[in-house]
Each structure stands twice: as C-alpha cells, then as structure tokens.
Structure 1
Amino acid sequence: MTDTLTTTQPLSMTLPTYADRPAPTRPRGVRRVLYDSGYALSAFVLAVPAFVVVVTNLALGIGLAILIGGVLLLWVAVMVARGFARFERMRLRGMLGKPAETPAYLCPKPEAGFWRKVLLPLRDAQSWLDVLWSVLGLITGTIAFSLAVAWWAAAAGGLSYWFWQRWIPEDSDGTTGLADLLGLGEGRHDEIVLNLVVGGIALVTLPLVVRLAAATHGGLAHLLLSSRAELQHEVRRVEGGRDAARTAEAVSLRRLERDIHDGPQQRLVRLQMDLGRIKKQLAEDPALASRTVDEAMLQARETVDELRSLSRGIAPPLLVDRGLSAALGELTVRSEVPVEATVEVPDALPPHVETAVYFVVAEALTNIAKHSGATRVSVGVWMESGGVEVRVEDDGVGGAHLAKGSGLAGLQQRVIAADGRLEVTSPEGGPTVVNAWIPVGGP
C-alpha cells in the first residue's frame, strides 16, 4: 500500500532521478565490435612482453633469493607486473567500459629506507595478483587473439573471395577446393558461393565471438586486478558508515544533554523553588499561594512541551505510532514557510530508513526557516532504485554548504550512517536543493 500526502501551496516541480556516480561509457553497435576486436587483438601483443619480463625476473629472483640480487629481481618482477596491471585497467575502462577500480597498494613512505621500499611491495597481496595476471594473461590473451584473428579472417576472406580468387592459379596437380572436399560441387563458382556463405556466417557471428574473446580476457583481468579494489571500497564504505553513525550519535547526545540542561532542567529547578514558596505561603497568604500555584502549573506545562520537542529529536512519537507519511505531514504543517509536499512511500519501511528520511526533511526545513529567507518550499519523497529518494527545494538566497556547519554536516553524517548519499546544490542567489537517497536494504 502507498500513502500519498499532498499539502497544496502554489509551487510545482518535476521530481528527477537521483544521479548515481558516473560509470564508464560502454561502446555500442559497430564501435563495440571494433573496440572488442582491438582489445582482443592487442591482448596477445601486450601479454607476451609482460609474461617474458615478469616470469624471467621472477624465476631468476627465486633462484637467487639467498642473494641480495635475487630480492632485487623479485622487486623488479613485482613492479613491472604492477605497471602492466595499471595499463590493463586503463584498457578495461577505455575499451570495454568496465568500472575497473585501482586497488590500494602497500606503498612505503617517502622517508622510508631503501630496503623497506624494496621489501614492502613484496608483502602486498595485490602485487602478487598482478604477477599472476602477467602469467595467466598470456593464456587468455592467446585465446582472445586467436578467436579475433580467425573470425576476422573468415569474414573478410570469405566475403572478398570472389574478387581475389582470380589470381589463384588453376589446379594442375589434381588438388581440389573446399567445396569439392565437402561434396558441394566443383569449379570456381561453387568455391565462391561456399566462401560467401562462410564469410557471411562469420560476419554475422563476429560481434558475439569478439565479445566472447574480449570477455574471456577482460573477465580474468577484472577478477585479478580490480575485484580486490571493490572489496576494499566496500570495507571503507562500511567503516565510514560506522564512524558516521558513532559521530552522529555522539553529536546528538551532546546536543540533547545541552538542551536538557538549558531547558527542562532549569524549569524543574524553578518549579521546585515555587513549590517551596507555596508551602510557606499557604499558611501566611493563601491568595498569593494560589497565584504561585498558577505560575508553577505554567512552568510544568512548558516543561512538558519542551520535553516533547526534545523527544522529537530522538524518535518522533508520531513517526513511531503512525508512520513516515503522517510524521512528514506534521512537519509540513508546522513549517514556518509554506510547503508543497508529495510523499509516496510504502507503509512498512525499516525504522532506520524512516528515521533518516524524517530528519533529512526536518533539518532541511529548519535550515530554510532560519537561513534561506525563502517564501516557498517543495518536498518530494518517493521510492527510487531500491531506496527512498528525498528532495527538498526552496526559492531562498542560496549559499548553503555542507562545510558551513549549519546542521547539514550533521545531517550528512546521519545519512551516511544509514548507508545513503546526500547532495546539496545551493548557488548564491538560490535555489537550494537538498537531495538524499537512503537504501531500504540499509546496514
């Protein structure tokens, strides 16, 4: 079930799709065939020197490992393999359009000594994967090169046989052509027809074959050279989300402690003093005691209101009781700036997703009321790409930035803790647009 909340104010907007990180462009059509062919044909050309240099230095280094020169030869093999691996990742991105990320290598500090600079790369797991690639790449490179050459030769030779066959001498020693061997006829005409058929089949299947050849070589390259980088990126993302969650929690606790100390705690102290005054005044001046009771009741009501306001910063009761749509509806009603809101989300969302979405909207509206000078705000919340997309736009003066510490930095920490993304676009003069995406799967 999907709830739709609409608060009408005079502002219309089109909700765009959240922009993901740009990925390498994959070639299409004829360009893809040419790029795949170029990648497959050049694979063997690059694999041969990589294999020769790396294996030669590796073999000599292992054989002379007890000597200083052997260690240096191993270091040369590793560094050469790194260089070929780096170039291969560039080919994967440029020719196949694959997002081949570069892993984080173990690199010595500039002030490190000579032997530390030599030995540290030998302890790096990715360096040995690069060495393994230099060895196995010759096998897949040979396969890719052979397939590409065979199919291009069959296509080009078969389709052009009718033209260049005239320079082939007539059989004078009793040899027969391919058509005769297959029992399909004799003579030049039958040979031309057969070669045209073979060339046509090769041309039709050429895109599939060169794609297979490129995928064979590129798949192994991506597995050995970039899969570890993706794992490292995932680990950094999880660690960043964990640190962001800790930071957001610490900041929230400090703010809550400060707000309680400056607000409800002071009012409760005053209420305690008023109750002591009332106890004395009941015997001396009942009328004055009655007025003091009224003041104490006002203090108690204001304390309760402040506590309710603070509780909204932890877990808004309406969000817990009635869900995200109702809680966002209350935010738009309480907003000091007129809001047009469109909320289209399922009833059942993970609690951490609902909380993150709520605080994105709440913090954005608070910042707009305090700093933007806006007269209109639009809020959009909808499902997008396996998560919840949030967009808040105002017509204020702009100039908002995550680094300015206006609450957006803390909001970014909260979004990252939910494994999401936050973007703020706010040129001078406006408008300001806050985009957030929180995955439903979440951490």
Structure 2
Amino acid sequence: MTTQTTSEIPSPPPMSYDAPAPPARPGPGRRLLLDSAYALSGFFVALPAFVLAVVLLSAGLGLVLVVGGVLLLSLATQVARGVAHLERHRLRTLQRRPAPAPVHLAPPPSAGFWRRMLTPLRDPQSWLDVAWSLVGLVTGTLAFAVTIAWWGVALGGLTYWAWQGFLPDSDDDQGLAELLGLGEGRLAESLLQLVLGVVALLTLPLVVRLVALVHGGTAALLLCGRAELQSQVRRVEGGRDAARKAEAQALRRLERDIHDGPQQRLVRLGMDLARARRQLERDPDRVPEILDGALVQAREAVGELRSLSRGIAPPLLVDRGLAAALAELVELSGVPVAADVRLPGDLALAPHVETAVYFVCAEALTNVNKHSGAARARLLVHADDEAVEVLVHDDGTGGAHVSKGLGLAGLQQRLAGVDGELAVRSPVGGPTEVRARVPRGRPAAGEAGP
C-alpha cells in the first residue's frame, strides 16, 4: 500500500544521519600503492612475529611442568597481542578497512602476580593472536613474493629496451624469445619483454589487491572477528536494557496517568451515583441534574481511557495498519502537516517495527503541536527492503534536544530496543528535524501485520 499526501511546503533536505562519513575511497593509483605497501611490509612484520611465537611457545611447552614454562607461555600471548595491535593498525591505515580491537579478559585490580600471569592464557583472543603470529607468515610470504614478482616483471619488461644493451651478448646465449620460438636477436627479446611488462602492468592492481585481501582477510578474521561479535553482543544487551527501561517508564507513566485521570473521574462518578440514589427519596427533582453530571464524567473517563490505550497499542494501528494510523495522526494534528507515506504493500513489517514507527511519528508531531510554535510541518515515512525511515520537519522555533526530554529521550530508548537510530537537528530559531531509522526486520510466522 502506498499513501501520499502533499501540500505546498518547502521540502527538507534528503534523509541523512549525523554519523561520521566513511573514509573516502582511494583512487586506483593510490589503492595500488597502499596494497603494495601492505603486502610488502607484511612479510617483515610476520617473520619476527613467527620466530618469537615459535621460540616462546616451544620453550614454554617444554618447560610447562615448571614455573618458567607458564611464564613463557604468558609472555608468548603478550607478544602476539602486540603484533595483533600492529596488524590492526596496518589494516586501518593501509587497507582502509575497519579493524575493531576486541576486549581482552583482564584480571581484577586486586589480583596477585600469578593470576595476572594466568589470565591471558584463559582469554580466547590471546590464542587467536598467537594463531595469527603463526599463520601470518604464510599469507605474508605469499603476498610479498607475488607482489615482488609482478612489480619486477612489469618494471623490468617495460624498461628492458633501455638496459638491454648493457647485458653481455654471446652466441651461446639464448633469450626467452628464442626459447619460445618467437625469433632471435635483441629486437625479438625486447618486444617479448615489452609485451610481458604490459600484461604484468595491466594485471598488477588486480593481483596485488588479491594477495593483499588474502593477507588482510585472514588477519581480520582472526584479530577482529571476535571484536565484531562482542560489539553485536553489547548492542543487543544495550537494546535490551533500553527496551526494559522504556517499558518500565511507560508503565509508570501509564499508572500515573490512570491515577490522575480516569481513576479520579470514576471515583467522582461513583460518588455522583451514590448521591443520586440518596436524592431519590429526599429530592427527586435534582436526580436528573446529578445523573447528567455523572454521564459527563463517564464520557470523559471513557475518552481518557481511549487516549491512554493509544499509548499502549493504538486500535487503528492494530486493526487497519500503519498507513491508516499515520493518516489519523496527521488528521488530528493542530498544525497543518504535509504527509508523504510510502509503504509498499509487498513489504510486510513486523508488528514491533510498525509500533516503533508509529510512536516516533506520534511523539514528534506531539512536540510540534505543544512546543515548536510551528505553522507548518512535514512527515515523510519511506520503507524499503532494509528499514523504515521517518522524517518530521517543522518551521518552528527550534531548540529541541534529546537531553531536554519532551519525550525524545524515551523515544530514543524505544528505538534502541529495536536496533533503531534517532537523530535530532534543531538549532535555536529552527527549523527542527527529527529523523529515525528502524530496521525492517522479518515478521515471524503468524505475526505479519495487516
């Protein structure tokens, strides 16, 4: 389903977030130089790391039954950890790829000497670092040899004509061209070397890139794979904690709203009905007046309960879907809103995604009506295969910020619970832009929205 509502209002800039831009991609020439530097230097880093790792591990395992063996094994993990830090730095600077550092197992500050020595041996990442010190020599040697060979063939073949005359010439010598049956003499040899140089030069970026990726990919797998897993675990734990906190705050707010609103009206309603019952015998003429007041209290209590239910699970969202619920928000807004809602029908949204998007729009439009002093606003909701993006833009006085409350802090926690993002740009004087991105997710069987 695609819903679009527009009116004359200046369009805000394209959706974007304040996340730092990724580093610019180097051009082909710079990429070749960076890959060559990475491949050539990798051997000189891997060789001493391999030697130190083998010596320390061999000595440590040989003396494992005595004190010195354990100390040597611990020292081996520390040396491997230093090599791993250096390799991650090379990945960031020469390969231009993210290389997060894992969180190593650390002893408590009050730990004794032996516990500090044994802790690295219990850390899985320590042994991954040691594995890299051993495996890195294999991939580093491969990258070094192939890079040297390809550069040598390219430069040597292209310049062979210039230094060919300085080579000793003998009737018994056979050049590569003569051995391949392509002709005799310096001209045939020079042409063959030129062709080989051109072919090597054309394939040089691809070959060097390939061996650099093999070396760097192996390093990233061993040295950064666990860090990425730890980052995902922290993000999931942070989202879970944020969801719990948002739920607890919502329950406390709901309890307070029920106590201050419908509960007071229902108490008043009970008192009015009791008074009407007493008046039936004393003054029957006043009973209709009392019942009219009780009827007003009942209607207002029902209205407040209905309003509170929208904060839990809006009936229209549950019954008719996100597009209809957003249309109702736009219609009920006191500030004119130009809406552009694009929700293709073939993209089924998980219920928690629809709820998160609805509350982003509801909270942002509520702030527009209550605090912004805006004359106009614009709502954009666009969905694709990966996420739903929301933008609420108004021409108000600005000054909104997550730290100031206004429901934005709770909204940020709600989005964190679904791995979403929230960005608020609201300079003093306006305009204000609230942007949100909610990963689309995949509805489980039987959970697909309407």
Give the TM-score range, shorter chain.
over 0.9
Partner of 2:264: 266
> Unaligned 5+ residue runs, structure 1?
none
1:229 corresponds to 2:227? yes
Counterpart code for 2:2: T
Counterpart code for 1:301: R
> Among residues 179, 183, 193, which one is paired with 2:181 in the alignment?
183
Instruction: Give the CA deviation at 1:379.
Output: 1.7
**Structure 2 Cα separation of the partners of residues 442 and 423 of structure 1:** 24
Counterpart code for 2:31: R
Instruction: Give the CA deviation at 1:200.
Output: 0.9
Match of 2:128, SS state, is helix
Partner of 1:108: 107
Q: String of CA shifts for 1:180-216, please: whole Å, max 9, x gaps.
A: 1111111101100110111111111111110111011
**Structure 1 Cα separation of the partners of residues 373 and 4 of structure 2:** 28
Match of 2:343, SS state, is strand
Is the CA contact (8 Å cut-off) linking 1:248 and 1:410 kept in structure 2?
Answer: yes
Partner of 1:323: 321
Partner of 1:309: 307
**Structure 1 Cα separation of the partners of residues 75 and 429 of structure 2:** 57
> Unaligned 5+ residue runs, structure 2?
444-450
> Among residues 234, 242, 245, which one is paired with 1:244 in the alignment?
242
Partner of 2:397: 397
Between stretches 240-249 and 128-137, larger displacement belongs to 240-249
Instruction: Give the CA deviation at 1:45.
Output: 1.0
Is the CA contact (8 Å cut-off) linking 2:15 and 2:435 kept in structure 1?
Answer: no
Match of 2:5, SS state, is strand
Partner of 2:80: 81
Aligned CA distance change for structure 1 residues 65 and 25 (closer, same or farther; 3 Å): farther
Instruction: Give the CA deviation at 1:79.
Output: 1.1
Counterpart code for 2:359: F
Q: String of CA shifts for 1:237-292, please: whole Å, max 9, x gaps.
A: 11222222212211111111111111111111111111111112223322200111
Counterpart code for 1:415: L
**Structure 1 Cα separation of the partners of residues 184 and 295 of structure 2:** 113
**Structure 2 Cα separation of the partners of residues 61 and 429 of structure 1:** 68
Partner of 2:292: 294
Partner of 1:432: 432
Q: String of CA shifts for 1:407-433, please: whole Å, max 9, x gaps.
A: 111111111111211112223333322
Counterpart code for 2:258: I
Partner of 2:386: 386
Q: TM-score, normalization: structure 2?
A: 0.93
Alignment root-mean-square deviation, CA: 1.8
Partner of 2:274: 276
Is the CA contact (8 Å cut-off) linking 2:373 and 2:397 kept in structure 1?
Answer: yes
Instruction: Give the CA deviation at 1:232.
Output: 1.0
Is the CA contact (8 Å cut-off) linking 1:5 and 1:344 kept in structure 2?
Answer: no
Q: TM-score, normalization: structure 1?
A: 0.95
Match of 1:393, SS state, is strand
**Structure 2 Cα separation of the partners of residues 89 and 100 of structure 1:** 6
Partner of 1:37: 36
Aligned CA distance change for structure 1 residues 355 and 15 (closer, same or farther; 3 Å): same
Instruction: Give the CA deviation at 1:314.
Output: 0.5
Partner of 1:199: 197
Between stretches 389-398 and 110-119, larger displacement belongs to 110-119
**Structure 1 Cα separation of the partners of residues 339 and 141 of structure 2:** 60
Partner of 1:55: 54
Match of 2:248, SS state, is helix
Instruction: Give the CA deviation at 1:405.
Output: 2.8
Is the CA contact (8 Å cut-off) linking 2:5 and 2:338 kept in structure 1?
Answer: no
Match of 1:313, SS state, is helix
Aligned CA distance change for structure 1 residues 166 and 28 (closer, same or farther; 3 Å): same
Any residues of structure 2 matched to 1:159-178 within 5 Å, and which?
159-172=158-171, 174-178=172-176
**Structure 1 Cα separation of the partners of residues 46 and 5 of structure 2:** 61
Instruction: Give the CA deviation at 1:26.
Output: 3.7
Counterpart code for 2:162: F
- Moved beyond 4 Å, runs of 4+: 18-21
Q: String of CA shifts for 1:38-89, please: whole Å, max 9, x gaps.
A: 1111111111111112221121122222232222222221111111111111
Is the CA contact (8 Å cut-off) linking 2:3 and 2:343 kept in structure 1?
Answer: yes
Is the CA contact (8 Å cut-off) linking 2:385 and 2:440 kept in structure 1?
Answer: no
**Structure 2 Cα separation of the partners of residues 9 and 325 of structure 1:** 21
Match of 1:108, SS state, is coil
Partner of 1:409: 409
Match of 2:341, SS state, is strand
**Structure 1 Cα separation of the partners of residues 170 and 250 of structure 2:** 92
Match of 1:341, SS state, is strand
Is the CA contact (8 Å cut-off) linking 1:17 and 1:384 kept in structure 2?
Answer: no
Partner of 1:356: 356
Instruction: Give the CA deviation at 1:333.
Output: 2.3
Aligned CA distance change for structure 1 residues 423 and 27 (closer, same or farther; 3 Å): same
1:94 corresponds to 2:105? no
Partner of 1:346: 344
**Structure 1 Cα separation of the partners of residues 120 and 34 of structure 2:** 33
Counterpart code for 2:184: E
Match of 1:99, SS state, is coil
Aligned CA distance change for structure 1 residues 108 and 431 (closer, same or farther; 3 Å): farther
**Structure 1 Cα separation of the partners of residues 26 and 367 of structure 2:** 44
Partner of 1:423: 423
Counterpart code for 1:4: Q
**Structure 1 Cα separation of the partners of residues 351 and 18 of structure 2:** 25
Between stretches 216-225 and 96-105, larger displacement belongs to 96-105
Partner of 2:64: 65
Q: String of CA shifts for 1:369-418, please: whole Å, max 9, x gaps.
A: 33333333222111256100011122333332222333111111111111
Between stretches 394-403 and 312-321, larger displacement belongs to 394-403
Aligned CA distance change for structure 1 residues 22 and 130 (closer, same or farther; 3 Å): farther
**Structure 1 Cα separation of the partners of residues 426 and 119 of structure 2:** 45
